[in-house]
């Protein structure tokens, strides 16, 4: 059997190999993705984002267990934060998730943040496809909500869970811009801290500034470390899913995701061609600097050459 056949048959080793293959864009990875595409589209994807140390991994771990009780096959993609300060926490994640690793109904994968801008979201999108073909019913994606590339990752999932912590209300103005718009479901974790209720109210107030919600994001409390508030969070995610499915929103989000994938692929192909062409134009660039040529003519000329050539398709 070929790798893709093993993958869709639910072979765990094949799944790990397939993710590495697409993540590293090894030879034949596009052909591989084409083969598995007809076997995708079934999985529901949920992103968990929020500040470093908010308890995202702990929550994901508990949510996975909750979903496993419902006999759902679950995939987890943890996008490793770039900050060296959080390395210890990552190690912690691995240890905490160790017991999930022995469950054949759970597949966990960490993704590095190396590569160019858009690299993570591209690799994550591809990994989602692989886990979908592997037969996961639900795929959870954990990212630290700090940089643009993490926000890009989050934009590709069906439901975005925004993990907050008590006291965030103090500087809620600062996080308002990015955070309030992308969260579909909010959860204030670490509710063993007595400021949690106040933070929940503050978030609700912020949300209620906008009166025209088609789906007003629910806000709940959780103590992930004690497995408290998980049922309510899972219910809220489910409500959001129902809303998406009963409107045209789910299709809209998935169209966005598909568009993004196509966009990234074309960009990649064009960029590679462009880099090659630029290498051959070093003399012209020098002339441009000396004033014998200009960058606009060179750029336009290269663009025309690229558009005329049929070399894109390889
Ligand atoms: N008090 C308290 N601590 C918690 C709770 N949930 C998680 N923690 C602790 O908070 C710390 C960070 O938890 P993680 O789950 O690693 O947080 P994270 O958001 O995944 O962290 P990064 O991935 O590094 O951004 C750990 O020490 C957890 O044990 C909670 O509900 N209450
Ligand atoms: Mg984490």
279-295 pLDDT per residue, tens: 999 999 999 999 999 99
CB-ligand 1 contact for 76 (6 Å cutoff): no
- DSSP calls for the chain: --HHHHHHTT-HHHHHHHHHHHHTT-TTHHHHHHHHGGG-S--EEEEEE-STTSSHHHHHHHHHHHHHHTT--EEEEEE--S-GGGHHHHHHHHHHTHHHHT-TTEEEEEE---SSTTHHHHHHHHHHHHHHHHT-SEEEEE--TTSHHHHHHHHTSSEEEEEE-TTGGGGHHHHHHHHHHH-SEEEE--TTSTTHHHHHHHHHHHHHT----SSPPPEEE-BGGGTBSHHHHHHHHHHHHHHHHHSSHHHHHHHHHHHHHHHHHHHHHHHHHHHHHHHTTHHHHHHHHHTSS-HHHHHHHHHHHHHH--TT--
Measured in Å, residue 52 CA sits from the centre of ligand 1 at 9
Measured in Å, residue 32 CA sits from the centre of ligand 1 at 37
207-230 pLDDT per residue, tens: 888 778 999 999 999 999 999 999
Q: What is the pLDDT of residue 176?
A: 55
Domains in the chain, CATH or no CATH each: 39-247 (3.40.50.300)
CB-ligand 1 contact for 192 (6 Å cutoff): yes
270-279 pLDDT per residue, tens: 888 899 999 9
Ligand 1, residues 51, 58, 91: which to mutate, most atoms within 8 A of Cβ?
58
Q: What is the band of 116 on the pLDDT scale with cuts at 50, 70, 90?
A: very low
CB-ligand 1 contact for 91 (6 Å cutoff): no
């Amino acid at each position: 059997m070929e790798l893709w056949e093993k993958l869709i048959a639910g072979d765990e080793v094949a799944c790990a190999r397939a993710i590495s293959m697409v993540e590293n864009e090894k030879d034949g990875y596009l052909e591989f993705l084409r083969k598995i595409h007809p076997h995708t589209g079934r999985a529901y994807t949920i992103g968990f984002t929020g500040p470093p140390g908010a308890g995202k991994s702990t929550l994901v771990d508990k949510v996975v267990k909750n979903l496993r009780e419902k006999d759902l096959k679950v995939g987890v993609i943890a996008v490793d934060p770039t900050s060296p300060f959080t390395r210890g926490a990552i190690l912690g994640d691995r240890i905490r998730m160790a017991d999930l690793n022995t469950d054949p109904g759970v597949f966990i994968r960490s993704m590095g943040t190396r590569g160019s801008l858009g690299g993570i979201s591209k690799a994550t999108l591809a990994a989602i496809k692989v886990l979908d073909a592997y037969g996961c019913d639900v795929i959870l994606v954990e990212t630290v909500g700090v940089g643009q590339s993490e926000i890009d990752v989050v934009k590709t999932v069906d439901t975005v869970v925004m993990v907050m912590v008590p006291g965030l209300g103090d500087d809620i103005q600062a996080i308002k811009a990015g955070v309030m718009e992308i969260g579909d479901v909010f959860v204030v974790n670490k509710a063993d801290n007595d400021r949690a209720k106040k933070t929940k109210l503050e978030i609700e107030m912020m949300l209620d500034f906008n009166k025209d919600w088609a789906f007003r994001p629910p806000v709940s409390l959780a103590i992930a470390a004690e497995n408290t508030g998980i049922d309510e969070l899972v219910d809220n995610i489910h409500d959001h899913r129902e809303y998406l499915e009963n409107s045209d929103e789910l299709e809209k989000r998935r169209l966005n995701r598909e568009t993004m994938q196509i966009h990234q692929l074309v960009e990649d192909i064009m960029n590679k061609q462009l880099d090659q062409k630029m290498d051959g134009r070093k003399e012209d660039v020098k002339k441009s600097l000396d004033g014998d040529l200009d960058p606009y003519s060179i750029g336009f000329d290269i663009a025309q050459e690229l558009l005329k050539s049929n070399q894109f398709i390889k």
